[in-house]
């Protein structure tokens, strides 16, 4: 990465994080605090025939032991209410919580967990999503029909959610196509693996509970506590200290209610900190395994005339936040291509695996890997250069997308040209080196969000927001937006955030939505203060408010030699009467309508607000003796709208690319025959490190995007994670002479493919 400019300001959370003085949830201590431990099922599927906690309760130093009998009888989840806090009669995956303990020390809590007796009637584990889809007799949830839902989710049997996209007449178009190419790909499940383990601390004061949690979504966590423990919203406060990453794995409502219930029963503060093994098996947010079958018909000129496909997604034992995944996956299988005839069905299927969830760009890297590998297969079948094929068929400004959305100005074809240029021509490549190209897309998630902005009497600013910071820097950029509106400097603003009792609602650090939605709220609030400052300055400078310009901490009369007045002085004047306060709610833009197409199970993902586009070109080297693939260089080109914070934007792309390399080559969950995870430690689950990071060149095609974020911005954090694995796969296919059809493309799988 090469930047010609230096950072405009220091991140507010930067010094604490780099000096080690920042406090994370696991660092927090309260007087009288107890340690929590959870008793997990440790089997994939079974009925509880005996659960005895009396020996655990009798251990000295144990203050509370809870089971399903000790909490309200509530089924929860945002879209299909298929889950309870503790296992009730049946356990459906190894990380299901059976009981919880609070004790004086972690060691006593561990002893209490060991003293709990659980006996099961073992049931056959259902671990193959395709088999589960086909078998309506062997059900993960026998009573699925009794579960309440949002009324939109289409479900039946083991199908937790279903969606289909259909446009034109794909059968007729396929029959007339000059060539039809069929492909099948299988992607393993994987994990977010933030280095900070999950942690929760709860303390009751009277009938109110304060919960410190390592969550990306504090308002969602609060809602879950209120629902499951039957507590009014005003009695639950969620605070997030520094968050050590999440990548979507810390989205949703997790264990806050378990710890709050323990703290209430024990009458002491209680803290839960996961071990690395627990971090792998217990949370209901892992990247879903996916099976993709796709067929594409092309004409003699190489234009796509039709596409059909089927996606089967491993939901795991509970639906969590995944009901919209089938529609999202179907859109990614349609791809950012002009496809006049389309028919895709997509199934989210219950299994006895750990539940899936919103890990960075859910469903997109896996489906993009399948589709873009398939795209190279098409190009090879018709004798066309894969870059030229994409340039010919990619959507562009004014074209119509899969569900009838007409695109305003977009830069996908420019991204393809930029990324592919300089990635390495054939005559520049060394032995066993190749370059692969892939394109991807991603929506900008529109959501309500709020912020307060105020100036104190000394002219210093405060931004009070419900937005959440998980390392992306999006919240930090809010200071830049406020400063631009008020003619101040970003460092003039203090940020108060990550506390549900101080800031207004925000969706959280999920969906790449913070800058898009909360940024609009901050801009709106800041403009209210700017209007107030202009009114005050106009009185002091004997001018019209419309002629006042705010810049460099002062108010000036445009085009006049009249002396300026400082914003500090104006803030002092305001303190004697009115307050300089702005409130923004950031009205979310509406998604375009579906036009000339049909969608079953529509979850609002069929036409996208501010769609983002990308192309990654990746240069790799293959060691044919071992099957090890080394990524040497990545050119990443992105249309993410207007870039507000260039250094932060480049950092997001770099981090996502490295994460994508892991997804491509090393990161995949392995299961035994009973459906239990086998690689639940960092020595067994291989992450990429700085030593694995290649040269990464990032370029942005900046296009002002109306009806999106502030100043024409789109989302950014998830889009760079999508195309990397696919580009690596296409480079590898050139070297081994065939596509690898299972993700991750580990050294073992590569070696076996070369040996066939």
Do residues 670 and 557 share a domain? no
Instruction: Please check whether residues 505 and 635 belong to one and the same domain.
Output: no
434: tokens are 């190749």
C-alpha 222/C-alpha 678 separation (Å) is 33
Residues 632, 504 share a domain: no
Question: Could you give the 3-state DSSP secondary structure of residue 561?
Answer: coil
What the block records as the tokens of 336 is: 């950012």
- Residue 42: which H helix or E strand, with range? none
pLDDT of residue 1: 40
Query: What pLDDT is stored for residue 49 in this prediction?
Result: 98
What is the DSSP annotation of 592-655? PPP-S-EEES--S-SS-SS-EEEEEEEEEEEETTTTEEEEEEEEEEEE-BS-S-HHHHHHHHHH
| Three-class DSSP category at 117 | strand
Return the sign of the alpha-carbon dihedral for residues 500, 502, 506, 510.
negative
Angle at 667 between CA 363 and CA 732, to 5 degrees: 85
Q: Are 494 and 463 in contact (CB under 8 A)?
A: yes
Q: Which residues contact 694 (CB under 8 A, 6 or more apart)?
A: 619, 631, 632, 633, 634, 661
Tell me: do 400 and 513 sit in the same domain: no
Residue ending a domain, among 273, 299, 328, is 273
* CB 509, CB 217: distance < 8 Å: yes
For residue 405, being part of any structural domain is answered with yes
Question: What pLDDT, on a 0 to 100 scale, did the predictor assign at position 8?
Answer: 54
- The sign of the dihedral angle between the CA atoms of 633, 638, 643, 645 is negative
Collect all residues with Cβ–Cβ distance below 8 Å to 240 and sequence separation of at least 6: 25, 212, 213, 214, 215, 218, 468, 498, 499
673 CB-near residues (< 8 Å, 6+ apart): none
Domain encompassing residue 623: 361-443+605-755
In a domain, 308, yes or no: no
384 and 456 both lie in a single domain: no
Q: Is 624 left (phi over 0), alpha (psi -120 to 50) or beta?
A: alpha
Phi, psi of 364 (to 5 degrees): -70, -50
The residue ranges of the chain whose pLDDT is under 50 are 1-7
Q: Which two tokens stand for residue 206?
A: 């009277």
Query: Partners of 613 in the beta sheet?
Result: 441, 639
Report the DSSP beta bridge partners of residue 612: 442
Kindly provide the b/e burial profile for residues 229-242, where b requires at least 16 CB atoms within 10 angstroms of the residue's own CB. bebeeeebbbbbbb
- Residues 470, 528, single domain; the answer is yes
Separation between Cα atoms, residue 148 and residue 80, nearest integer Å: 6
How many separate domains does the chain show?
Answer: 3
CB distance 29 to 485 below 8 Å = no
CA 555/CA 39 separation, integer angstroms: 62
Sheet with strand 270-273: strands edge to edge: 62-66, 97-103, 34-40, 270-273, 199-205, 208-213, 236-239
Are 459 and 439 members of one domain? no
Domain assignment present for residue 514? The answer is yes
Q: How many helices (H) and strands (E) does the chain have?
A: 18, 28
Decide if 298 is inside a domain: no
Q: In 530-575, which ranges are E strands? A: 548-551, 554-557, 565-566
Measure the CA–CA gap between 123 and 736, rounded to whole angstroms: 42
Task: Examine the fold and report which residue of 273, 304, 332 is the final residue of a domain before the chain moves on.
Answer: 273
- Domain final residue pick, 532, 552, 584: 584
Question: Which residues, at least 6 apart from 356, have a Cβ–Cβ distance to it below 8 Å?
Answer: 189, 284, 285, 286, 287, 288, 289, 313, 314, 315, 316, 320, 322, 325, 362
Torsion sign (Cα): 474, 476, 482, 485: negative
Task: Give the number of other CB atoms < 10 A from CB of residue 195.
Answer: 10
Nearest Cα to Cα of residue 199 among 278, 268, 116, 264 = 278
Tell whether 418 and 470 lie within a shared domain. no
Phi-psi region of 140 (alpha: psi -120 to 50; beta: other; left: phi over 0): alpha
For residue 5, what are the contacts with CB-CB under 8 A and spacing of at least 6? 646, 647
Give a yes or no: residue 289 inside a domain.
no
- 435 within 8 A of 619, measured Cβ to Cβ: yes
- Residue 140's alpha-carbon distances to 45, 167, 254, in angstroms, are 8, 33, 21
E strand or H helix at 567, and its extent?
A: helix 567-575
Tell me, what CATH number does 572's domain have? 3.30.365.10
464 shares a domain with 433: no
Q: Is residue 149 part of a domain?
A: no
The burial of 336, by beta-carbon neighbours within 10 Å (0-12 exposed, 13-18 middle, 19 or more buried), is given as buried
Check which CATH number belongs to the domain holding 211 and give it: 3.90.1170.50
Q: Which of 509, 413, 480 is nearest to 703 (CA)?
A: 413
With respect to residue 735, please indicate whether it lies within any of the assigned structural domains.
yes
Based on the domain organization, do 651 and 510 belong to the same domain? no
486 contacts 566 by C-beta, under 8 angstroms: no
- 386, part of any domain: yes
Tokens in use for 307?
């596409």
C-alpha neighbours within 13 Å on the C-beta side of residue 560: 16
Would you give the end-to-end CA distance of the chain in angstroms?
39
CA distances from 647 to 17, 212, 473, 721 (A): 18, 30, 10, 17
Residues 235 and 375 both lie in one domain: no
Residues 430 and 461 in one domain: no
3 state SS of 278: helix
């Amino acid at each position: 990465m090469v930047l010609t400019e230096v950072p405009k300001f220091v991140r507010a959370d930067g010094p604490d994080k780099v000096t080690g003085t920042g406090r994370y949830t696991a660092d927090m201590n309260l007087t009288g605090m107890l340690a929590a431990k959870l008793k997990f099922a440790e089997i994939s599927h079974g009925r509880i025939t005996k659960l005895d906690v009396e020996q655990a309760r009798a251990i000295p130093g144990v203050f509370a032991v809870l089971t399903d009998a000790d909490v309200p009888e509530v089924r929860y989840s945002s879209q299909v209410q298929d889950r309870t806090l503790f296992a009730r009669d049946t356990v459906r995956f190894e990380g299901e919580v059976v009981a919880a303990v609070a004790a004086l020390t972690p060691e006593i809590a561990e002893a209490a967990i060991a003293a709990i007796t659980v006996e099961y009637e073992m049931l056959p584990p259902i671990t193959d999503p395709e088999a589960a889809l086909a078998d309506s007799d062997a059900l993960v949830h026998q009573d699925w029909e009794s579960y309440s839902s949002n009324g939109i989710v289409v479900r039946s049997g083991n199908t937790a959610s279903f969606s289909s996209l259909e446009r034109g007449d794909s059968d007729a178009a396929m029959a007339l196509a000059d060539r039809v190419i069929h492909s099948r790909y299988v992607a393993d499940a994987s994990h977010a693996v933030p280095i900070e383990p999950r942690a929760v601390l709860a303390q009751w004061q009277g009938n109110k509970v304060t919960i410190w949690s390592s969550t990306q979504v504090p308002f969602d966590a609060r809602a879950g506590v209120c629902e499951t423990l039957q507590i009014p919203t005003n009695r639950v406060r969620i605070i997030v200290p520094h968050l050590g990453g999440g990548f979507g794995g810390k989205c949703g409502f997790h264990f806050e209610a378990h710890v709050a219930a323990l703290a209430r029963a024990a009458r002491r503060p209680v803290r839960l900190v996961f071990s690395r093994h627990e971090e792998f098996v217990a949370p209901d947010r892992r990247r879903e395994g996916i099976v993709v079958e796709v067929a594409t018909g092309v004409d003699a000129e190489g234009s796509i005339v039709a596409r059909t496909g089927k996606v089967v997604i491993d939901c795991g034992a509970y639906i969590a936040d995944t009901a919209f995944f089938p529609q999202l996956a179907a859109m990614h299988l349609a791809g950012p291509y002009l496809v006049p005839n389309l028919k895709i069905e997509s199934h989210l299927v219950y299994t006895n695996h750990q539940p899936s969830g919103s890990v960075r760009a859910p469903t997109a890297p896996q489906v993009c890997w399948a589709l873009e590998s398939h795209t190279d297969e098409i190009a090879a079948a018709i004798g066309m250069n894969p870059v030229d094929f994409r340039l010919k068929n990619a959507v562009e400004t004014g074209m119509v997308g899969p569900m009838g959305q007409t695109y305003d100005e977009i830069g996908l074809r420019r991204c393809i040209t930029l990324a592919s240029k300089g990635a390495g021509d054939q005559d520049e490549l060394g032995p066993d080196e190749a370059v692969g190209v892939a394109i991807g897309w991603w929506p900008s998630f529109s959501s309500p969000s709020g912020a307060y902005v105020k100036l104190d009497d000394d002219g210093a600013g405060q931004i009070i927001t419900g937005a959440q910071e998980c390392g992306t820097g999006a919240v930090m950029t809010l200071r830049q937006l406020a400063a631009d509106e008020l003619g101040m400097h970003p460092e003039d603003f203090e940020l108060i955030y990550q506390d549900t009792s101080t800031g207004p609602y925000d969706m959280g650090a999920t969906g790449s939505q913070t800058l898009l939605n909360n940024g609009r709220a901050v801009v709106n609030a800041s403009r209210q203060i700017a209007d107030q400052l202009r009114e005050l300055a106009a009185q002091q400078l004997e001018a019209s408010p419309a002629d006042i310009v705010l810049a460099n901490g002062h108010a000036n009369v445009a085009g006049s030699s009249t002396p300026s007045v400082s914003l500090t002085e104006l803030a002092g004047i305001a303190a004697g009467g009115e307050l300089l306060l702005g409130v923004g709610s950031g009205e979310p833009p509406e998604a375009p309508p579906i036009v000339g197409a049909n969608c079953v199970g529509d979850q609002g993902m069929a036409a996208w607000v501010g769609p983002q586009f990308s192309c990654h070109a990746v240069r790799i080297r293959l060691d044919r003796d071992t099957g090890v693939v080394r990524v040497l260089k990545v050119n990443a080109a992105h249309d993410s709208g207007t870039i507000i914070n260039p250094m932060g934007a480049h950092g997001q792309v770099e981090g996502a690319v490295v994460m994508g390399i892991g997804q491509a080559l090393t990161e995949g969950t392995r299961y035994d025959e009973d459906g239990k995870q086998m690689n639940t430690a960092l020595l067994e689950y291989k992450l990429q490190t700085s030593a694995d990071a290649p040269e990464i060149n990032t370029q942005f095609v900046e296009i002002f995007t109306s009806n999106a974020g502030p100043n024409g911005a789109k989302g950014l954090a998830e889009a760079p994670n999508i195309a990397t694995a696919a580009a690596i796969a296409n480079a590898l296919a050139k070297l081994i002479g065939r596509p690898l059809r299972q993700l991750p493309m580990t050294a073992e799988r590569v070696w076996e493919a070369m040996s066939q």
